[in-house]
Structure 1
Amino acid sequence: MLSVLTEFWQSTGYALMTWQQALMLIIACLLLYLAIGKKFEPLLLVPIAFGMMLTNLPLAGLMEGASTLIKSVDPESASMLMEPTAKALESGIPIEIYTETPGGLLQYFGKGVKLGIFPPLIFLGVGAMTDFGPLIANPKSLFLGAAAQAGIFFTFIGAILLGFNAQESASIGIIGGADGPTAIFLTSQLASHLLGPIAVAAYSYMALVPIIQPPIMKMFTNKQERMIKMQQLRVVSKTEKIVFPVLVTLIVSLLLPSASALVGLLMLGNLLKESMVTDRLSKTAQNELMNIVTILLGISVGATAQAEYFLKLETLKIIVLGIVAFGVGTGSGVLLAKLMNKMMGGNAINPLIGSAGVSAVPMAARVSQVVGQKENPSNFLLMHAMGPNVAGVIGSAVAAGVLLTLFN
């Protein structure tokens, strides 16, 4: 009886769990607490955290690849085989039997990440939910979205100095764009072995935008600047909204073909929304498709955080570099907005909207609104901040295209 119980215990995950796996399970539970208890981007963090939990369960094998067993067959066994195989053995032809064992479920989900399928589909949904009107009404917002990408290239240099190669540094730097799908898309093609820590860092920092950005915004602005009220944006015509996605796709894709998957799907989603003749497709992209891909992408991202690959010194470096990238991007946007405000007379642009240049849509724009309204309750910056915010989405995709072109 004792031997049976011992054998049963040794067949359980409890007996084979390592301290590294236990630590990853604790981290997964902490992320679930932040997502559910503190409501930090639950739509992203819940599937990511649960995927992290599933991949670190001993013996579950959810991230195991398919395996093939090759077995040679001798002529004496010919009678047990099908007739064509038996005849082949009798004629002296060597025969091998292939037995394939399917891989784990999450390993197949992960194909959508590794093959670069999920990120463009996410961009399709984002485009269908995005109003580019504030950007069209105020084209100067494009400069703020571009300035916020400075964190990407600053961190790229920092990663090189810390010993990462060019491909790894480019993948780490893209965290500064605050765009999880773009980070996954670029990393899967340049440094797939870093996909776990980079994806988790990118999505974690996106979820922590309301905590990370306000101190940086206040550091670079004074109370008077934060109280600036901006003039109402002009009304954008329907024709402008239809022409914009087509024009952006042509300009960016011809300049940077490697960015066409992200930018093209982003703009297709927006065209479905703005054309007013594809309501069913637009609603599907915004809802059903977006929700399905978010679940699969989140689980797949979490599943890449296996203990043996995640708990390394380079992971700590990536997390630190990621927060630096995010901080530099936020600060760069604010500083350029301050400069533009000075050049336009000192009371035209609230520098807080510059922080929305990172592409965490619409969280970064909401943070600009919240911080501005604390200083001046009658201030409404949300629509003004949406201009740099959606410009940041385009900017991060363009930055990824540049890095992919240079280092792929």
Structure 2
Amino acid sequence: MELTISNLFQTLWQSTSIAAAGAAQWKDWIMVAVALILLYLGIFKKIEPLLLVPIGFGALLSNLPVAGGYFLSLEYVKQVGELNQIVSPRLPLLGDILYFGVKNEIYPILIFIGIGAMTDFGPLIAQPSSFLMGAASQFGVYAALIISVVLGFNLKEAAAIGIIGGADGPTAIYLAVKLAPHLLGPIAVAAYTYMSLVPIIQPPIMRLMVTEKEAKVRMKELRTVSKVERILFPIAITVVTSIFVPASTPLIGAIMFGNLLKEAGETRRLAETAGNELINIVTIFQALAVGASMKADTFLTLQTLEIVVLGVLAFAFATFGGLLLGKLMYYITGGKVNPLIGSAGVSAVPMSARVSQTVAQSYDPDNFVLMHAMGPNVAGVVGTAVAAGVFLALLGG
């Protein structure tokens, strides 16, 4: 074709998104709308803004007609997550490079180091029975798994969906990449969205299950935890879980390493870096990449709607399991344990512990259960990581 000014302008016009708008699939425009909704929820409704804003913008970048193809390739997302697959027949796109850290489980591990550096395990050490409430809250994980299987998901998919009930975004992403990478987008969005909705989801269940008398129980002040105990705790937990659930070692090891940096004292600078700069940078990369993976062809399916519904059920069952054990401990101890702290067994730290405090004070404004609720709360982080390890051991990854 003869190169003329007219041809150049025609080629330039055809390369624009405006010219391709009419040919774009309706699903692309729906995903653009979904991305804008996520941005609205994060910015204006302040629902988990540190996560929903980059997730929403990543979805916007990858689903705009024509332009999305320059940010992330769907073929790269579908590849098995192996380190040697960063190089394809063509140079990887920016989104492909960011997604590399997701598909090879790099980001969740680094985020767990940061979480460990910010976590105070003191309430759990002072009240070891909190481990039981954290474990009981995993009921939501297994209940959602069973329901998912009934709905037609295979075991690997069901396990990845069920872990949403643990209310732990990095763990949900880690397991989804291992067992059901094609469901990563909806699982990540459901996990992080429902984590932010804990103050809405949990209170009705708490008020339904706990009586006014139980809710007004004032618990004895926790004992002081020594520095030696704080240092030995992350080491002991890592050793014990690695012996009994080796597959959970990457997650447990990362969070306990971060916590050891915090408690060792001489590594305070490293702990501050892990809990601030590191976790902030990695969160940006992970959320942007997860959002970009929400391509119309893989996200707009019946499965996505089912996962959204299952996510709510997983959270509800997790809250139910923790409260049920809280009530049991109330009767076993002769009324010394406030059952409301059981709801904090989901690992949305410290949000679910604050919800326990808020509901308790709605019955008695002078009742302070926050520190007691932090025990089950951080126990839930460990419990969810262990549950993920069990799934990996049984189902492979």
TM-score (normalizing by structure 2): 0.91
> What is the match of residue 192 of structure 2?
203
Equivalent of 1:148 in 133, 137, 147:
137
> What is the match of residue 25 of structure 2?
18
Partner-residue secondary structure (3-state), 2:289? helix
Mapped contact 1:149–1:395 kept (Cα < 8 A): yes
Equivalent of 1:215 in 201, 204, 227:
204
> What is the match of residue 239 of structure 1?
228
> What is the match of residue 240 of structure 2?
251
Cα shift readout 1:53-74 (whole Å, capped 9, x = no counterpart) = 111112222112799xxxxxxx
Amino acid at match of 2:16: T
The Cα shift of 1:215 comes to 1.2
Distance 2:100 2:89 in 1: 18
> What is the match of residue 349 of structure 1?
337
The Cα shift of 1:5 comes to 7.2
Counterpart check, 1:270 vs 2:259? yes
Partner-residue secondary structure (3-state), 2:367? coil
Equivalent of 2:351 in 344, 358, 363:
363
Mapped contact 2:74–2:295 kept (Cα < 8 A): no
Mapped contact 1:133–1:241 kept (Cα < 8 A): yes
Partner-residue secondary structure (3-state), 2:255? helix
Partner-residue secondary structure (3-state), 1:101? coil
When the two structures are aligned, how many residues end up with a matched partner? 376
> What is the match of residue 33 of structure 1?
40
The Cα shift of 1:243 comes to 0.3
> What is the match of residue 294 of structure 2?
305
Distance 2:153 2:208 in 1: 31
| Change over 3 Å in CA distance of 1:286–1:151 after alignment to 2 | same
Residue correspondence of structure 1 range 90-129 to structure 2 within 5 A: 100-129=89-118
The Cα shift of 1:101 comes to 2.7
Residue correspondence of structure 1 range 10-89 to structure 2 within 5 A: 10-14=14-18, 15=21, 16-60=23-67, 61=69, 62-64=71-73
Equivalent of 1:325 in 314, 325, 337:
314
Cα shift readout 1:253-305 (whole Å, capped 9, x = no counterpart) = 11111110000010000000001010110111011101001101111111121
Mapped contact 1:146–1:395 kept (Cα < 8 A): yes
Amino acid at match of 1:406: L
Distance 1:6 1:334 in 2: 66
The Cα shift of 1:151 comes to 0.7
Task: Using the TM superposition, name which of 13-22 and 303-312 deviates more.
Answer: 13-22
Equivalent of 2:385 in 394, 397, 404:
397
Distance 2:359 2:394 in 1: 38
The Cα shift of 1:366 comes to 1.1
Counterpart check, 1:406 vs 2:394? yes
Amino acid at match of 1:392: G
Amino acid at match of 1:158: I
Mapped contact 2:164–2:191 kept (Cα < 8 A): yes
The Cα shift of 1:4 comes to 7.7
TM-score (normalizing by structure 1): 0.89
Distance 2:24 2:343 in 1: 43
Partner-residue secondary structure (3-state), 1:262? helix
Task: Using the TM superposition, name which of 219-228 and 293-302 deviates more.
Answer: 219-228
Mapped contact 2:74–2:293 kept (Cα < 8 A): no
Partner-residue secondary structure (3-state), 1:233? coil
Partner-residue secondary structure (3-state), 2:294? coil
Amino acid at match of 2:72: M
Distance 1:228 1:24 in 2: 48
Cα shift readout 1:145-203 (whole Å, capped 9, x = no counterpart) = 00000111111111111111111111111111011100111111111111111111111
Residue correspondence of structure 1 range 187-202 to structure 2 within 5 A: 187-202=176-191
Distance 1:3 1:218 in 2: 70
Partner-residue secondary structure (3-state), 1:43? helix
Cα shift readout 1:308-366 (whole Å, capped 9, x = no counterpart) = 100001111111111111110011101110111011112x1111111110011111111
Cα shift readout 1:360-394 (whole Å, capped 9, x = no counterpart) = 11111111111111221111111111000000000
Distance 2:281 2:178 in 1: 23
> What is the match of residue 86 of structure 1?
none
Mapped contact 2:134–2:346 kept (Cα < 8 A): yes
Mapped contact 1:226–1:351 kept (Cα < 8 A): yes
Larger Rg: 1
Task: Using the TM superposition, name which of 33-42 and 310-319 deviates more.
Answer: 33-42
- Could you tell me which runs of 5 or more consecutive residues in structure 2 were left unpaired when the two chains were aligned: 77-87
Amino acid at match of 2:377: N
Distance 1:385 1:370 in 2: 11
The Cα shift of 1:217 comes to 1.2
The Cα shift of 1:7 comes to 5.6
